[in-house]
Amino acid sequence: MVTISDAKSASSRENRTAAHTHIKGLGLRPDGTAEKVLNGFVGQERAREACGVVVDLIKAKKMSGRAVMLAGGPGTGKTALALAISQELGTKVPFRPIVGSEIYSAEVKKTEALMENFRRSIGLRVKETKEVYEGEVTDLTPEEAENPLGGYGRTISHVIVGLKSGKGTKKLRLDPSIYESIQKERVAVGDVIYIEANTGAVKRVGRSDAYATEFDLEAEEYVPIPKGEVHKKKEIVQDVTLHDLDVANARPQGGQDIISMMGQLTKPKKTEITDKLRAEINKVVEKYIDQGVAELVPGVLFIDEVHMLDIECFTYLNRALESKISPIVILASNRGVCTIRGTDGITSAHGVPTDLLGRLLIIPTYPYDAEDIKTIVRIRTKTEGLELAEAAIDAIASIGVQSSLRYALQLMTPASVVARSVGRTKIEVSDVRECQELFIDASTSSRLVEKGPGAGGYIS
């Protein structure tokens, strides 16, 4: 028999080293002070501590409607800090990162795009008691029948699902439509799932821990076999964002469980998310909150390179921050005083209008010294699986001090390629120097542009 194994798209993930993979959190002690080197973060202690306070405020729900700005030169760790904040908040708090320029598109109005991102960063935790069938899947067999329309095809008439719980087992004969959602959730024998009795929605909880001995490369969540009967009432907690609700109600045939909750809204078939629809959703959400069924979880909207926003967006931002339901907004900018986009030459710090600036908590970030950069380079060599000679690390560190940390870190990978081309695995100073000539940094490049061709520059 031929076994056809899944194309493992996930395994290539390990090799794709993104710029911030070494950052695992803010690296703070329980008392909120920063450890010099922890969670992949090095130095920049004051900014990390400030971010820790922001995380605490967010968790205590005291930050909604506020805005924070990370301000500092290029490569001083602003984006890394924002990422660490999201890691500290965990997966239950929405974190929506965007780059300022992302909101300009030909199809969607920019304030509309901003609004969507706002709603993606506001969570709603809904608690519902539902009648479910829950257990470890012991059997999963589709039953086929002749295609009623004739022809050669066969259709699935039923699917038999065996479920085992702490107190018993049950065999369910289910509708083929449920089989589709079982496939969508990639349920296999040995998984713990529950099926909602009313809607037929299927949810995969995790892999049964009876299977935990299998070695498994993918991060898999193991869960115990559910206690109690297979058929029971269960409190289900769902985390959705307001945007999820907007989408679900604009296209009522989409997801299942959110729909069931917002059922009363779905009667008219809408195809577009309108202000009216959002207002309706807000009303229902408020009702659920009043009834204690749902709880608002204001998340984070992170706008990197905020100077790319224009005056209209800033006006919108100001107003959105005032509204009753608002996320925490974190901005980042590496600009000093520059023109506010969309105005004729009005300048301001970070290109942000003064009225918005006035309400920001600003966290400054500072350039790194050679020691810090050396430590960061060492951490990166581990994540990228490279080997560097001590002298090469020194060379990269001094390049980092002169130009920027980002440029220094970016030289590492090409330097490894150069080293390999001459048959070495260890990167030496000469490899770094060669790459430094091959790839110049931003300020050198702009100097060459300004000089012009005759004077040794490269652009006419």
Ligand X SMILES: Nc1ncnc2c1ncn2[C@@H]1O[C@H](COP(=O)(O)OP(=O)(O)OP(=O)(O)O)[C@@H](O)[C@H]1O
The entry of ligand X, Mg ion, none that residue 44 binds, CB within 5 to 8 Å by partner kind: ligand X
Which of 24, 49, 56, 74 is close enough to bind ligand X by CB under 6 A?
74
77 binds ligand X (CB under 6 A): yes
Cβ partners under 8 Å of residue 381, min gap 6: 387, 388, 393, 412
Inter-residue contact 302 to 82 (CB < 8 Å) = yes
Judged by DSSP in three states, 354 sits in helix
Identify which of 164, 148, 158 has the alpha carbon closest to the alpha carbon of residue 178: 158
Inter-residue contact 123 to 94 (CB < 8 Å) = yes
Interacting residues with ligand X between 333 and 372 (CB under 6 A): 334
- Smallest gap from Cβ 327 to Mg ion, in A, equals 20
- Smallest gap from Cβ 302 to Mg ion, in A, equals 10
406 binds ligand X (CB under 6 A): yes
Which of 54, 297, 363, 409 is close enough to bind ligand X by CB under 6 A?
409
Which of 330, 405, 415, 419 is close enough to bind ligand X by CB under 6 A?
405
CA dist., res. 98 & res. 113, Å (int): 11
When the beta carbons of 43 and 298 are compared against ligand X, the nearer one is: 43
Which of 39, 44, 79, 121 is close enough to bind Mg ion by CB under 5 A?
79
Which of 78, 96, 120, 207 is close enough to bind ligand X by CB under 6 A?
78
247 binds ligand X (CB under 6 A): no
Which tokens go with 277?
Answer: 């629809």
When the beta carbons of 285 and 408 are compared against ligand X, the nearer one is: 408
Which of 26, 39, 43, 249 is close enough to bind ligand X by CB under 6 A?
43
44 binds Mg ion (CB under 5 A): no
Interacting residues with ligand X between 271 and 300 (CB under 6 A): none
Return the H-helix or E-strand segment holding 314.
helix 311-322
Which tokens go with 153?
Answer: 């095809």
Inter-residue contact 69 to 301 (CB < 8 Å) = no
408 binds ligand X (CB under 6 A): no
Report long-range pairs for 54-62 (Cβ below 8 Å, ≥24 apart). Answer: 54/85, 54/328, 54/330, 54/361, 54/363, 55/26, 55/85, 55/88, 55/89, 56/32, 58/89, 58/93, 58/298, 58/300, 58/328, 59/89, 59/93, 61/298
Which tokens go with 236?
Answer: 């289900």
86 binds ligand X (CB under 6 A): no
Closest CB to ligand X: residue number: 77
* Residue in the block written with tokens 């390629």: 417
Which of 76, 121, 326, 381 is close enough to bind ligand X by CB under 6 A?
76
Which tokens go with 100?
Answer: 């300022």
**Which amino acid appears at position 447 of this protein?**
R
| Through-space distance between the first and last CA atoms of the chain, rounded to whole angstroms | 67
Site size toward ligand X, by CB under 6 A: 21
Q: Mask: binding to Mg ion, 241-280, rule CB under 5 A, as x and -?
A: ----------------------------------------
42 binds ligand X (CB under 6 A): yes
195 binds ligand X (CB under 6 A): no
- Per CB under 6 A, residues contacting ligand X are 19-20, 23, 40-44, 72, 74-80, 334, 376, 405-406, 409
- Per CB under 5 A, residues contacting Mg ion are 78-79
